[in-house]
Amino acid sequence: MKKSIVIGAGIAGIATSIRLAKKGYAVEVYESNAYAGGKLSAFSSEGFRFDAGPSLFTMPQYVDALFELCDEDPRAHFTYHKKEIGCEYFWPDGTRLTAYSDQNRFLQEVEEKLNVAPTVVKKYLARAKEKFDLTAELFLENSLHRWETFLTKNTIKALARLPLFELNKSLAKVNTAQLKEPHLVQFYNRFATYNGSSPFQTPGIMTLVQHLESEYGTFVPEGGMEQISQSLFQLAKRQGVKFYFNQKVTEILHTKNEVTAVMVNKQKLLADVIVSNMDIFPTYRYLLPKAKAPEKILAQERSSSAVIFYWGIQKQFPALDLHNIFFSEDYQAEFNAIFNEHTLYDDPTIYVNITAKDVPSDAPKGCENWFVMINTPADYEQDWETDIVSLRTKVLDKLEKRLNTSIRSHIVTEEVLTPPMIETKTQSHLGALYGASSNNKMAAFWRHPNFSREFNNLYFCGGSVHPGGGIPLCLLSAKIVSDQLASLT
């Protein structure tokens, strides 16, 4: 039986291990942390449970597909429900918008609150859907870096409609031209943050991201977001995958055109196939120091990072739901600060996630667990210790003003996550959440492929390679890797 070693037990590493085990490989996963899941983990503090990382769950069919691949009923091991309200939005001028999952109800809300006719939004979403339908097979389900991907009928059809993708316009320009109403433009500009980019730089094709949420909705896993990774971790073990925690891979050994083994605790572990779920930058810099590195790819602009405050709050807030956004007044200035000045903006957009709204056991009775996230630049050696003190004050001032109530006095437990801490915990270069940004019309083509051009048995999965960051894309990266390997069974 051929042996495969997966470096990293993030969500993509776990998914890849399942797919390789189904193909007949003996699979071993080595993880430097003491737990599986990577960013998709959780912790508890004084009776409050917090999801440590990703808090948005969309396109659950990609999780279900892994159980079905293994001939298991997904609902026997992993359950979730769809949210009626995707997110609550708050603007500085007092405007508030509820993003209902039901499209007709959402269109009615937009018309009532923003005075935008349903036909305008329908046309916008239909155009986004068309972009997605034309490009899903090309961008999401196959490697962009193999010629055969471009020789299908669907690819030729997509290329024939190239102007539709609006690659030469920014997402913000596309949204302004098609939607006009400022609140609605900012609402849809926000989706650029789903891959750590700026709506004023990322191309207009990114409206297809909006389609995914409006078409499929948002979901809540029973037991929290960590159940996504933990249920797949258990599935992998049932498929015979062996996991080794607190075991850091320090080098990938290779000949001229093949990788042969990994070094762990000064031990040489042989493998026929090696898959790195580690960020592409440290994979080359630290694990493959003697290999020829793709310097242009490694030099790409990093995506945004984040500062997250985890607050256990001894109070409940009926005005809030699971997902809540408090917008900045000047979105363009905010993204200029993040990507051009590499500073924390004075009036940041604030995302508040409260899982206790749907999972009451996540907080003591009468309390809420707040995951408060602010988009920031990656770590360019800013003075984070000083910046966090200032940012905390600004965030609390803004939230208390918008909600017209005290928050500070009700915080009974607090933890903070910063970009340097994200890098330390997850090996994400500079603490960037999504690897490279998508602030360029060719960004999708410039992401590192899921295979090595130098070593014929080395592969890559996860958010820093094709097709990108976020849970659905990480799961798709695992499938792309698997599809490139022959089945042994």
- Please report the sign of the dihedral spanned by the C-alpha atoms of residue 477, residue 230, residue 69, residue 457: positive
pLDDT at 137 over 80: no
**Average pLDDT, whole number, for the chain?**
92
Q: Decide: helix, strand or coil at residue 326.
A: strand
Confidence bin at 129 (pLDDT 50/70/90): confident
Residue 481 to residue 462: CA distance in whole angstroms: 10
Q: Decide: helix, strand or coil at residue 346.
A: coil
pLDDT at 163 over 80: no
Q: What per-residue confidence (pLDDT) applies to 33?
A: 95
Beta bridge partners of 49: 44
Give the mean pLDDT of 84-96: 97
pLDDT per residue over 443-456, tens digit each? 666 788 999 999 99
Q: What per-residue confidence (pLDDT) applies to 16?
A: 98
Q: Does domain 107-208 have CATH number 2.40.50?
A: no
Q: What per-residue confidence (pLDDT) applies to 276?
A: 98
Q: What per-residue confidence (pLDDT) applies to 14?
A: 98
296: Cβ–Cβ under 8 A, 6 or more apart, which residues?
446
Give CATH 3.50.50.60 domain extents, the chain: 3-38+225-299+438-483
pLDDT per residue over 218-277, tens digit each? 999 998 999 999 999 999 999 999 999 999 999 999 999 999 999 999 999 999 999 999
Q: What per-residue confidence (pLDDT) applies to 447?
A: 85
Residue 484 to residue 173: CA distance in whole angstroms: 38
pLDDT per residue over 29-38, tens digit each? 999 999 999 9
Give the up-direction half-sphere exposure of residue 90: CA atoms within 13 A in the CB hemisphere.
20
pLDDT at 45 over 70: yes
Percent of the chain clearing pLDDT 70 (strictly above): 93
Q: What per-residue confidence (pLDDT) applies to 153?
A: 61
Query: 103-114 and 182-189 helices cross at what angle (nearest 10)?
Result: 140
Q: Which residue do the tokens 């007044």 mark?
A: 329
Confidence bin at 206 (pLDDT 50/70/90): confident
Residue 99 to residue 110: CA distance in whole angstroms: 9
Residue closest to 196 by CA, chosen among 450, 471, 474, 435: 435
Q: What per-residue confidence (pLDDT) applies to 438?
A: 85
Confidence bin at 155 (pLDDT 50/70/90): low
Give the mean pLDDT of 422-435: 93
Give the up-direction half-sphere exposure of residue 322: CA atoms within 13 A in the CB hemisphere.
24
Percent of the chain clearing pLDDT 90 (strictly above): 81
Give the mean pLDDT of 361-365: 97
Beta bridge partners of 243: 29
Residue 235 to residue 76: CA distance in whole angstroms: 11
pLDDT at 143 over 90: no
User: Of 128-132, 306-310, 373-377, 462-466, which range is least confident?
Assistant: 128-132
First vs last Cα of the chain: how many Å apart? 10
Residue 151 to residue 221: CA distance in whole angstroms: 39
Residue 408 to residue 328: CA distance in whole angstroms: 21
Confidence bin at 347 (pLDDT 50/70/90): very high
Give the up-direction half-sphere exposure of residue 55: CA atoms within 13 A in the CB hemisphere.
24
Residue 381 to residue 482: CA distance in whole angstroms: 38
Give CATH 1.10.405 domain extents, the chain: 107-208
Residue 169 to residue 163: CA distance in whole angstroms: 10
Label residues 314-349 b or e (16+ Cβ within 10 Å = b): eeebeebbbbbbbbbeebeebbbbbbeeeebbebbb
Q: What per-residue confidence (pLDDT) applies to 122?
A: 94
Q: Which residue do the tokens 């193999």 mark?
A: 146
| CATH of range 3-38+225-299+438-483; options 3.30.160.110, 3.40.50.20, 3.50.50.60, 3.40.50.2000 | 3.50.50.60
